[in-house]
Chains A and B, each alone.
Chain A
Amino acid sequence: MFGYSGKILHIDLIEQKTWVEGKTEDWYKIWIGGVSMATRLCWENITPGCDPYSPENPVCFANGIFAGTPVPVGGKYGLASKSPMTGFIGDSLSGSWFSIALKRASWDGVVIHGTSEEWVYLFIDDERVEFRDASKLMGLGTFATEEAIRDELADDQVRSATIGPAGENMVRFANVTNDGRQAGRTGHGSVWASKKLKAVSVRGTKGITVADPETLNKLSFDITKAAQGPHTSKYRLLGTVTNVLNMNKLGLLPTRNYQEGVFEDAEKVSGEYLHEHHHVKTIACAQCPIACEQMSMAKTGPWDGAMTGIEYECLFANSSNLGINDLNASIRLIEVADHGGMDAMSMGITISWAMESFEKGVLTKEDFKCEKYPDGLELTFGNGMAAVATAEMIRDQIGIGKLLSQGTKRASEKIDEERGTKSYQWAMNSKGLETAGYEARGLKTFSLGSAVGTRGPCHNRTASYDPDIKGVVDRFTVDDTRGELARSTEEYAAVYDTLPLCKFIRRCFTGKADRAGAWPMIAKLINATTGWNYEYDDIDLIGERAFTIKKAFNIREGWKRTDDTLPYRWMNEPMTKGPSAGHFTSDEELEYMKDLYYKAKGWNNDGMIPKEKLKELGMPDVAEQIGV
């Protein structure tokens, strides 16, 4: 087999034993890698219905088909477990050196079972696995943990995926970090902590065999050259943070806990301002010729010297959405999240929920009292000092930080139950996961894509904002095209998330990012890597299968049609300012679009998948378990 080793490594934390599972080439042709294969491994190895924090919930890595090859932006892997945020599939992507090391160690995937008695980290040294004492690593931040492991193993080529103090403390939205990148969403870090797993480290020393190296090199060279041209200028020069002003101009920038879509100080927290006043250097993942990550530093004030990589999603959540117009505070907030090992989006949005709760009198200064802040905190919008203090309380599980560390869904439910309030009305989540940085009230197709997302509302798992934001449809109205658009755009995204390839490369194949522009080249890359004969339709199937196995996983965990919904605010409160003023997605509109979407997917009106459909996709065992 070319491109794959044909082996999945299983690790049992209870017995401290390992075994190897062989997979057939036909299995790889269905599941490929990334989020699709990771979810399939989770499907095969989880005990259905288990508590996400139980030993029965496995940690599943699936490498990328192109990791370690010359294919640009192919150094990525998928990570899946049952999410403690949603109770459904938690699938994330991360990239860079860790995935290459895993590939060079000859593992297509890794499944970690059980729960350790003591804190451990795993060292995968090619075929050999060590269960190592993690006690010296406890309390270290994510980046510091990577460095400490390199020091302990006396090898600077060892790559590690780690959790930080937030994970150790069971912050529900804790994440997993490697090489400065995060498998950021759905709470993997707390799942790892429930297993007393501090890190997974890899040393890979072997080569990777592909079917047609000459062709793969030639194709990769051409794509790499294109990736340094105008199709990626915007990523290279400013990175994704440029979206702050874009979204603000369209009335779509989440502001003060999504109360509005325009922020009066957007210029002060824009990517342009960040670049001019805080930029330190631009960073690339391994195997990437684009380099989009903007390493930025706080330059003045109490957080002088705070530094981390800034992306749009973490920036909106920790600036406009908190009413904060000081990028020094935003950088420090994101640094607390990145070093502590927390999803900066969920953290920021949970703090914005707390700010609105404070301003509405649901929370008071008393609620924020702790040893460090005996007088409590004035957690009002725009108060950067209080926001940073709250982030640190979440990370360290101090005082009200314990409640906020559970995310907006659980925090609002608990407060509302205790105080008879209605803070769920401004808890910005769906399925328990906090929302993305696009105000869906002004993007009707994206509101559908957010509602039906298998891991919750997500900007990466669907590209359904594309037709709205690019003028293909009227973004303020609903029509009968939206079901098909949501289906098409989520399966498009799922192709990239399964290979995985960073989506920023999508125009560099032929200059056109649509299926016709990208799929033929992706098929050539797969064929040169594996020796298969994939064609256009096979690439489409990759996306459909990936989304289907995730949906099937959710159905087996109890998903029902009513779970495909939106936050109360997006369905009941029109914005009052800016170009998107007056708009929201009504219950009637959403249900209509869901009907269209389920039909476009070939599912029944309850959103269940017919057995025949699953069999057509090559999933007979899935058909037996959840097909209707």
Chain B
Amino acid sequence: MDNIQVLVEFTGISRMLTGEMEYQLPLTDGDVMMDVVRAIGRKFPTLVGEVIEKNGETLIPTNLFSVNGKQILNEKQLQYQPKDGDRLILLSLLAGG
């Protein structure tokens, strides 16, 4: 299996909790978004319980990934297979204000 690289971008609460704006994440071709969630949960344990469910495998609802700013993946759509060079933006969307 080939290795690929994706860029995980953090905004809002995930940026505050990780202290990072982005993180270059190596993946194996064929990995899905759930693998991304597991990997960033391991790298940034402060996300678990706040953005990532305590099981470390899925997102707490209202936290989403956007792939390159276009496609949006919610907590039920984590079977997507990222491609090499994808920007995976972790968003905590809010409404109102």
Interface size on A, residues (CB 8 A): 44
Asked if A469 contacts B93 (CB within 8 A), the reply is: yes
Q: With contacts A242-B11, A250-B66, A579-B66 known, what are 17 further pairs, Cβ within 8 A? A: A234-B13, A234-B62, A237-B16, A238-B13, A239-B94, A240-B94, A240-B97, A242-B92, A246-B11, A246-B92, A246-B93, A250-B69, A272-B15, A275-B16, A470-B72, A470-B93, A502-B96
Q: Report A-chain residues with C-beta under 8 Å of the C-beta of B70.
A: 579
Check A243/B64 contact, CB under 8 A, given A230-B50, A238-B16, A579-B69: no
For window 453-488 of A, CB contacts with B under 8 Å fall at 459-460, 463, 465-466, 469-472, 475
Contact with A503, one of B11, B12, B72, B96 (Cβ below 8 angstroms): B96
Contact with B11, one of A230, A272, A313, A460 (Cβ below 8 angstroms): A272
Asked if A470 contacts B74 (CB within 8 A), the reply is: yes
Closest to B14 in A: A234
Asked if A469 contacts B72 (CB within 8 A), the reply is: yes
Asked if A246 contacts B97 (CB within 8 A), the reply is: no
Check A242/B71 contact, CB under 8 A, given A234-B62, A507-B61, A512-B61: no
Closest to B69 in A: A579
Asked if A249 contacts B96 (CB within 8 A), the reply is: no
Check A242/B13 contact, CB under 8 A, given A230-B50, A234-B94, A470-B72: yes
Q: List 10 A-B contacts (CB under 8 A).
A: A237-B13, A241-B97, A243-B93, A245-B12, A246-B12, A249-B89, A250-B69, A475-B72, A507-B62, A513-B62
Asked if B95 contacts A459 (CB within 8 A), the reply is: yes
Asked if B11 contacts A233 (CB within 8 A), the reply is: no
Q: Report B-chain residues with C-beta under 8 Å of the C-beta of A239.
A: 94, 97
Asked if B77 contacts A271 (CB within 8 A), the reply is: no
Is A343 located at the chain interface by the 8 A CB criterion?
no
Asked if B11 contacts A471 (CB within 8 A), the reply is: no
Contact with B94, one of A251, A270, A272, A312 (Cβ below 8 angstroms): A312
Interface size on B, residues (CB 8 A): 30
Asked if A271 contacts B97 (CB within 8 A), the reply is: no
Measured between C-beta atoms, what is the minimum distance from A517 to chain B in Å? 10
Q: Report B-chain residues with C-beta under 8 Å of the C-beta of A475.
A: 72
Q: Report A-chain residues with C-beta under 8 Å of the C-beta of B49.
A: 230
Is A235 located at the chain interface by the 8 A CB criterion?
yes
CA distance A366 to B78 in the complex (A): 57
Q: Report A-chain residues with C-beta under 8 Å of the C-beta of B9.
A: 249
For window 248-297 of A, CB contacts with B under 8 Å fall at 249-251, 270-272, 275, 292
For window 71-87 of B, CB contacts with A under 8 Å fall at 71-74, 77
